[in-house]
Amino acid sequence: MSIELRQLRYFVAVAEENHFGRAAARLHMTQPPLSQTIQSLEAELGTPLFERTKRSVALTAAGAALLPEARRILQQAASLPDIARRAASGESGLLSLSFVSTADYSVLPPLLREFRERYPQIQIDLREATSDLQVDDLMHSRIDAGLLIPPLHDKAKAELAYVTVISEPLILALPHGFKDLQTKAAVALAEVADMPLIIFPRRIAPAFHDAIVGCFRDAGLTPRIGQEAIQMQTIVGLVSAGMGIALVPQSVSNLKRPGVDYKPLSDKTVSVETGLAWRRDNPSPALRTFLEILRKR
């Protein structure tokens, strides 16, 4: 079966006019080819669409059932050029974006809010993933972009573009209840060095792991690693349970968890960077508009 939009347009005109002559005039054509087109449509469908007399035309039950569907199809067909234009210009489409858990407390919410307000017709597929998984997904074109913690390995550097989004200092997350520390504006690592450290595994986030260990080393200390976890919510949850302390990006203090205190460090600390990576050869217009918003922030 092969039904053309032209056949549906002619059918709707006759149905709305209830007259072949008026429908032909509306369509700027003569009546014979209009009648032939309707007959051809009826043959395709295998049922009459109109009850015809010399003076009137009325829809059959099949015609009445077809009319709203024909209108819907014609309306959808009319919108196709606009859909294509908006997709080509980056005003609609799909953007697949991965993010590390730390980004959920800093750059991700305001960035998504602005993007959604500017481009409500772009569907966003969000996935939380560690930096190593994001890089692998980007290398295999499974996602459009990823908010991750650098660095990128050498092969990734050749294929991926990268821009820094935020750089923030590490702060201390410690269980609530240390009265001598609660009153301090800043805490030295030496004051909590005997407590177990909860940290990201190095294999998952080597730069983040090394930055944390480096803070202890610069203070002349050796951390006592008690637990490893790959989600920031889990790390903070373990701190809340009294399992140890953690060094976290400053924005994680937005994660209010009962039983956890956040304190700046009096020691010299490094900053942890989060950035956006994407394939240099990705032609996605939706990605292009996302990058435009990011660069204007």
* pTM for this entry: 0.69
The per-residue pLDDT for 108 is 94
In tens, the pLDDT along 196-246 reads 999 999 988 888 899 999 999 999 999 999 999 988 999 999 999 999 999
Q: Is the peptide bond before 151 cis (omega within 30 degrees of 0)?
A: yes
Distance CA 69, CA 49 (A): 13
CATH architecture observed for domain 5-89? Orthogonal Bundle (1.10)
Ramachandran assignment for 177, one of left (phi > 0), alpha (psi -120 to 50 degrees), beta (any other): left
The per-residue pLDDT for 90 is 64
Domain with CATH 3.40.190.10 in the chain: 93-165+274-296, 167-271
Distance CA 232, CA 129 (A): 11
Q: How many CB atoms lie within 10 A of CB 82?
A: 11
What percentage of the chain has pLDDT greater than the value 90? 64
CATH architecture observed for domain 93-165+274-296? 3-Layer(aba) Sandwich (3.40)
The per-residue pLDDT for 29 is 92
Cα dist. 209→116, 123, 212, 291 in Å?
33, 34, 5, 28
Question: In CATH, what number does 167-271 get?
Answer: 3.40.190.10
Q: Which 3 state secondary structure label does DSSP give 186?
A: coil
Give the residues of the chain that fall short of pLDDT 50: none
